[in-house]
Amino acid sequence: MRALIVIAFVVSLMPSPSQSQMVCGPREAVVENLGQKYGETRRGSGLTGSTVIFEIWVSEETRSWTILKTTASGWACVMAAGQAWQDDPRGIDL
């Protein structure tokens, strides 16, 4: 029961995609919130070291985006979020 209260509290603190504050919690709760509240789905992911995954979540409808960092322990943090996501069909071309 205590865990559910903690999860509910963490999820209630999730920022809108335009806010830049960092929010952390159990990955399952954070991911559920990204899908339900913002309509975001995972677009891609990559490893940094052997214990951390960075993921990009994007909403096709609103073009909001979130960068999520997840550790091996299952703890996830929103590292950045914003609006006006744009795919680059040419790939990376800086």
DSSP state of 14: P
The per-residue pLDDT for 9 is: 46
The per-residue pLDDT for 94 is: 59
Q: Could you state, in chain order, the average pLDDT of each consecutive group of 10 residues for the chain (94 residues)? A: 48 49 89 96 94 96 96 96 89 61
Contacts of 42 by beta carbon, 8 Å cutoff, 6+ apart: 55, 56, 57
The total domain count for the chain is: 1
Query: Which amino acid appears at position 87 of this protein?
Result: D
Are the C-beta atoms of 26 and 75 separated by less than 8 Å?
Answer: yes
Please check whether residue 78 lies inside any domain of the structure: yes
The per-residue pLDDT for 4 is: 45
Please check whether residue 7 lies inside any domain of the structure: no
Name which of 23, 29, 34, 37 is nearest 5 in CA terms: 29
Please check whether residue 38 lies inside any domain of the structure: yes
The per-residue pLDDT for 90 is: 76
Structural domain that includes position 72:
22-82
